[in-house]
């Protein structure tokens, strides 16, 4: 049976946190709890894209972050930039780093998580590991620190692919669910945080017009 979507309570609109803007693109820092694009259901027309387009009507969505994930997101300001940026994402030429806090102690200082993913159709929007029909999904993990008091590990995640919920499913699959994850963490882990502790902390790519390497960073708010 399909899961019932929880009620949507987006964070107050206190203005855009624009980290970069030029004639062709803008990079904003999305708060946790805000949809990237419109969702299905009452009130889900309040989202990052609509907030950006209220100020920059020409803005076009290039990629998305999960509603509960915070961090950097790029939007194009014209059709040519939209095509060029989309091609970079599709060709996996965009470098992305996420910071997360996960349950337990991750033993290896670095780890490669190579687990194919597929939609868990009876339990949408959940995804799951499937070695037969799943699509390739690869995440690189590096441990940043361990907190013995809370038995949690802060990690840097560098996905090579961009499957839906990839980081959340990969961390759960190796036994270290992300704190605050209402889809994949057990209740005792979910309750350790008031939000999903996952943040898109770095984004780097070629500028769609100049070709210059553009790199942005955002400190996680947790």
Q: For 109-132, what is each residue's pLDDT tens digit? A: 999 999 999 999 999 899 999 999
Quick check: 28 and 61 in contact, CB under 8 A?
no
Q: What is the reported pLDDT for 6?
A: 67
Output the six-digit token pair for 195: 């939000």
18-94+205-217 is classed CATH 3.40.50.300:
no
Task: With cut-offs at 50, 70 and 90, classify the pLDDT of residue 74.
Answer: very high
Average pLDDT of the residues in 34-54: 91
- Asked if 18-94+205-217 and 98-198 have one fold, the answer is yes
Give the C-alpha separation, 28 to 12, whole Å: 16
- Give the mean pLDDT of 88-112: 97
Weakest mean pLDDT among 131-135, 186-190, 207-211:
186-190
Q: What is the pLDDT of residues 127-160, one digit of tens each?
A: 999 999 999 999 999 999 999 999 999 999 999 9
66 part of the active site: yes
Band of residue 5 on the pLDDT scale cut at 50, 70, 90: low
Q: What is the pLDDT of residue 1?
A: 41
Structure tokens at 128: 């799951």
What is the per-residue pLDDT for 2? Answer: 44
C-alpha span between 96 and 140 (Å, rounded): 11
Q: Catalytic residue among 66, 151, 181, 182, which?
A: 66
pLDDT for the residue numbered 4: 55
Domain residue spans of the chain = 18-94+205-217, 98-198
Establish whether the linkage from the previous residue to 125 is cis, with ω within 30° of 0: yes
60 pLDDT above the threshold of 80: yes
- pLDDT attached to residue 41: 77
Q: Are the C-beta atoms of residues 69 and 221 closer than 8 Å to each other?
A: no
pTM of the entire structure? 0.94
pLDDT at 3: 47
* 212-218: long-range pairs with CB below 8 Å, 24+: 214/20, 215/95, 216/19, 216/20, 216/27, 216/72, 217/72, 218/19, 218/29, 218/71, 218/72
Q: Are 198 and 184 in contact (CB under 8 A)?
A: no
CATH architecture, range 98-198: 2-Layer Sandwich (3.30)
Cα–Cα distance measured from residue 131 to residue 107, given in angstroms and rounded to the nearest whole number: 24
Q: What is the largest distance, in Å, between two alpha-carbon atoms of the chain?
A: 51
């Amino acid at each position: 049976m399909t899961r019932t979507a929880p009620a949507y309570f987006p964070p107050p609109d206190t203005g855009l946190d624009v980290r970069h803007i030029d004639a062709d693109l803008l990079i904003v820092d999305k708060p946790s709890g805000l949809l990237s694009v419109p969702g299905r259901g009452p009130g889900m027309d309040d989202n990052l894209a609509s907030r950006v387009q209220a100020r920059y009507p020409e803005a076009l969505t290039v990629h998305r972050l999960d509603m509960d994930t915070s961090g950097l997101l790029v939007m194009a300001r014209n059709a040519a930039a939209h095509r060029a940026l989309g091609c970079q994402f599709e060709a996996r030429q965009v470098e992305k780093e996420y910071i997360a806090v996960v349950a337990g102690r991750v033993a290896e200082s670095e780890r490669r998580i190579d687990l194919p993913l597929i939609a868990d159709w009876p339990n949408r929007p959940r995804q799951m590991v499937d070695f037969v029909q799943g699509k390739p999904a690869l995440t690189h993990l590096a441990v940043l620190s361990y907190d013995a008091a809370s038995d949690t590990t802060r990690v840097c995640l560098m996905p090579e692919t961009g499957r839906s919920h990839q980081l959340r499913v990969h961390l759960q699959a190796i036994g270290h669910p992300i704190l605050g994850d209402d889809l994949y963490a057990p209740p005792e882990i979910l309750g350790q945080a008031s939000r999903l502790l996952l943040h898109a902390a770095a984004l780097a790519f070629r500028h769609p017009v100049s070709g210059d390497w553009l790199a942005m960073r955002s400190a996680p708010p947790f």
